[in-house]
A and B are shown apart, each in its own frame.
Chain A
C-alpha cells in the first residue's frame, strides 16, 4: 500500500508542481520566523536573532533544504529528465538543418530495420493463437536436393499417430479447394482443409459458435452426415454473421454437409498467410475429391505434433526416424529401394505454424536484414559525426558549464538525452514508414507465382505488435547509445581551462580530428559494402533474366483452361482443342498457337524413369526424366529450334506413339548415334498427378529439339522428353501458348471470346505472359535486387552527406589558414585541389577498409545464396568508382567555398 501512496504522491507533486513549491517556501519561512520570534523573546535584537536562527536551523541556504525535500519522492528524477528533454529540444530547434538531417537518416535507418523485422516477425516469429504453441513441432519429409515438404499420406499419418510415444497429440491437415453451392447466388471456390478428428482439441482452440470437429466426426460412418467448421471471416462475410448458422446445410463439391460450428476470430489455421474458409473431417475427403487423386494418395498431409511434457526435440526425432521406416518400406514397394532410402524425416519447431513460407523467404529476408543493419550503421555514424561536429562547436559552452560547477555526469546525461531524443524523433516516423514499407514488401513478396502445394491466395498482414515495437524501441536506444557515445565522451573529457582560453579554434585536438575523419571513413567503407551488395544482387537478377532459356520468352501469351466441372469428358476434348488451336492461330496478331500439359518455368512438372532400348543403365544412375505432353507447333510457338526429325502432328493420333527429345537427352543416351528412330519406355510410377499411358508403351523418337529450361529459371535445362498430347487416351493438357505480334491484352480479350463461343462451359482459369511468369518465379531475387539497390543508394547518399558535413566544417575552421595561404600566393585552384585531395584521401581510406569487407560479405552471401554468379571483380571496381564519384560531388561545394575565401575579409574577421 505504501508504494501506491508514494506513486500517487509523486504524481500529485508532478501535476501540482508550482503550488507544492510555494507551500514548501511558506512552510520554511514560517519556521524561520517562529525561530526568530523565539530568539527575540529571549532578548536578541532582530538582526542577531535572524542570524542565530538561521545558523541553528541550518537554514543557511533555503534552496538546498528545498532541494533535499523535493528529492524525497521519485518525481525528482522525472522532473530532471523532463528538464533535460526540454533543454535538448531547445538546442535541436536552434539548428533545424542538423536536426532534419539527423532525424531523416535515423527515420530511414530505423524504419527500414523495423519494416524488415516486421515481415520476419509476421512470417517467422509470431506464434500461432493456440494453446502452448511452443510445444508444437512440424514433421517434414526431405529428399536430397529438393526442398523439404510437409507432405505425407493419410495412411502414414495414421501409422505415426498410433505408434508414437513422444507426442501427446499428432494432427494431420490436407489442403483442398472446394466448390460451394449456396442456395442463392453463384457457386464459389474456396480454400478448405481436411483435418484429423483431433485437430481442434490438439490445438486447444475453443469454438466461437456451436462446436468444433471432434474425433467421432472423422469416422467414415459419420462422413455420411458430415459436419464442417467454418472460419470466423467466412461466417462473417459469406454467412452474414448469422447466429443461427449452426445446423445449417451447405453443399460442397455437390455433397451436402452440416455446419456444426464457427472457429474463433483469431484462429486462421496453421499456415501463416492462409485463411482457409472451412475445416472438414478428413474422412470426408474420399467423398469430395476427384477419385483419381484419392487413389494415388496425392493429397499431401501436413503433420503437427504436440510434444509430451519432458520430451525433447531430439528424442522425438529419434523415435520418428524409427517409425519412418514404415513409410520408406512403403515407397520401396513401388519405387526402387535406393530411391526410397533417400527419404528422411525432419522435425521443426512449429510455434509459428507450418514452415513452407518460412523456408522460402528466410534467406532473402535475412539478406535484407543484413543490408538494413548496415544501412542503420551508416545512419548512426552519420549522426555521430554530425553530433561530434556540434559538440566541438559547443565545446565553449560545455567548458563554461563545467567551470560553473555542472557535474560531468550531469553533462553526459544531458548529451545522451539529446541523442535519445533524436533517435526517438527518428523512430516515430520510422515506425510509420516501416508499416507502409513492410506491407508493400509483403505484397511484393507474395506477388510471385503460386507456391508448391499452397493455394494461390496468400495474405499476410504486418501489424505493429509488441514484438515489433519492442524491437524498434531497442533499435532506437541502441542507435542513440551508438551515435551518442562519441559526443558524450567528448563532454566527459571537456577540459574547461584549455578550451576557455583557446576560444574554440585551437581547442580541437589531433585525436578528435582523427575520430571525426574515422567516422566518415567508416561510412564510406560501409557504403561500399552496400553498393557492392546491390551490384551483386542486380547482376544476379539480370543474369537470371537474360540467360538463355532455350525458348523465346517475349510475346508469349499463356492461357490456362479449366475443363473440370465443364461437363466435357477428357476423352472427348481432342477435336474441340484442335479446333480451338486453329482459331487461336488465326487471331490477327498471333503467329502460332500451341498446347502443352506443362508450361515451362511454371514450377510444375511431371517426370518418369526412362528405359532406352540398347542403353544399359545401372539403377543408381537412373534419374527422373522431365516430361511434357505437347501438341503440334509447340516448339515453333516457343521458339525452341527443331534440330532434327519432324514435329508432332494431329494425325499422330491413333498411330504408334512418338516422342521428341531434347539435345541433352539425345547426347546422353545416343552419343553420336542418330537418336531418330530410337525407342524407349517410361518405367516406374509417375511422381505427379499426370499418369499418362501404361508403362509398357514403347515410344519412337521422331525429332530432336534444343535444350530448354523446365521447372524454373534456376536449374539448367534437364534431359527432357516431349510426348504428343494428342496421342494420349485422355486430353489432360490445359496450357495454351500463343506467340503474338500484337499487344497481348488485345489478344487475351479475343482468346476469352473464342473460348466462350467454342466451349461454353470451360472456364479460362488464368491468362498471363511468359515474361510475367518468369518475373513472378524470381520474386525473392527481384525484391532483394530492388531493395539492395535502394539501400545502397541511400547508404551512399548518407556517406556523401557525412563527407560534405565534415569538409564544410573543416573549411570553415580553416578559413584563416586558407586566407593566409592565399595571401602568400596560393591560387584558388591550389586551395580547391587541397580540399578535394583531402576528400579523396578519406574516400581512399574508406575503400581500403571497405573493399575487403565487401569481398568478405560477398563470400558470406554466396554461402547462403549458392547460385550467385561466382566471379565479379568488376563489381568491386564499379562500386569503388561510384563511391569516389559521389564523394567528389559531395566535396565540390566545400571546395568551391574554400576557393572563394576572401583573404582580406577573413583576416579582418580574426
Chain B
C-alpha cells in the first residue's frame, strides 16, 4: 500500500501525462511508460499497476481509443490514440495545470520573500 501513495497523488496528472504522450503519437502501454520515463528524465517511473488501470479508465471515458497493431519488432500490441474528446480534455487540463502551477509558484515565492 505504501508504494501506491505517490502514484495516487499523481493520479490526476498521470491521466494528463498519458494524454500528452499520446498526443505526440499513438503508442502501446509499454511505450507510454518508457516515453514518460525518458521525457521526465527518470523522475516518473510508472508501474503497470498504475498505468493499465489509468489506460482502462481513459478508454472507458472515451478519451483514448485502443486497437491491436503490429509493432516494429513484429509483435502484436494494443496501440492507444487520442480521440477528439481526449484532445479537448488535454487542452483543458493543460490550461488548468498551467494556471495552478503558476499560482503555486507565486505563493511559494511570496512565502520565501517574507521569511
Contacts and interface: CB of A to CB of B under 8 A. Distances in A.
Interface string B43-70: 0010111101100110011100000000
B73 interface: yes
A306 B20 CA distance: 64
Contacts of B73: 34, 37
Contacts of A71: 53
A550 interface: no
Given A34-B28, A34-B30, A68 B71 contact: no
B102 interface: no
Most A CB within 10 A of own CB, among B49, B53, B75? B49
Interface string A104-136: 000000000000000000000000000000000
B48 A30 contact: no
B30 A35 contact: yes
Given A30-B28, A68-B52, A57 B77 contact: no
A672 interface: no
Given A31-B48, A35-B30, A65-B48, A72 B53 contact: yes
A30 B55 CA distance: 15
Given A34-B77, A58-B48, A9 B60 contact: yes
B29 interface: yes
Nearest to A61: B49
A129 to B, nearest CB: 44
Given A26-B76, A57-B47, A58-B49, A2 B62 contact: yes
A28 B61 contact: no
Given A5-B61, A56-B45, A30 B34 contact: no
Contacts of B47: 56-59
A38 B31 CA distance: 11
B78 interface: yes
A27 interface: yes
Given A30-B78, A31-B30, A37-B73, A69 B52 contact: yes
Given A27-B52, A30-B78, A56-B45, A72 B60 contact: yes
A73 interface: yes
Interface in A213-230: none
A33 interface: yes
Interface in A50-80: 56-59, 64-65, 68-69, 71-73
A867 B60 CA distance: 69
A37 B49 CA distance: 20
Given A56-B45, A65-B52, A69-B56, A27 B61 contact: no
Q: Interface size class for chain B?
A: 20 to 34
B33 interface: yes
Most A CB within 10 A of own CB, among B48, B49, B60? B48
Contacts of A10: 60
Contacts of B52: 24, 27-28, 65, 68-69
A781 B2 CA distance: 70
B61 A30 contact: no
A360 interface: no
Contacts of B57: 72
- The main secondary structure of chain A at its interface with chain B is helix
Contacts of B50: 58
B60 A34 contact: no
A390 interface: no
Nearest to A35: B30
Contacts of B33: 31, 57
Interface string B12-35: 000000000000000011110110
Interface string B67-98: 00001010111100000000000000000000
Contacts of B31: 34
A30 B77 contact: yes
Contacts of A38: 34
Contact of A72 (B28, B56, B76, B77): B56
Contacts of A24: 52
A156 to B, nearest CB: 69
A859 interface: no
A31 B60 contact: no
B60 A73 contact: yes
B20 to A, nearest CB: 20
Contacts of A30: 28-30, 75-78
A6 interface: yes
A68 B53 contact: yes
A73 B61 CA distance: 10
A5 B48 contact: no
Nearest to B55: A69
Nearest to B59: A9
A405 B47 CA distance: 26
A33 B52 CA distance: 16
Contacts of B45: 56
Contacts of B53: 68-69, 71-72
A75 to B, nearest CB: 10
Interface string A1-39: 010011001100000000000011011101111110110
Contacts of B61: 2, 5-6
Contact of A59 (B48, B62, B71): B48
Given A59-B47, A68-B52, A71-B53, 20 more contacts: A2-B62, A5-B61, A5-B62, A9-B60, A10-B60, A24-B52, A27-B29, A30-B76, A31-B29, A31-B30, A31-B33, A34-B77, A57-B47, A65-B48, A65-B52, A68-B49, A69-B52, A72-B53, A73-B56, A73-B60
19 contacts: A23-B78, A24-B52, A26-B76, A26-B78, A28-B29, A28-B52, A31-B33, A33-B75, A38-B34, A56-B45, A59-B48, A64-B49, A65-B52, A68-B49, A68-B52, A69-B52, A71-B53, A72-B57, A72-B60
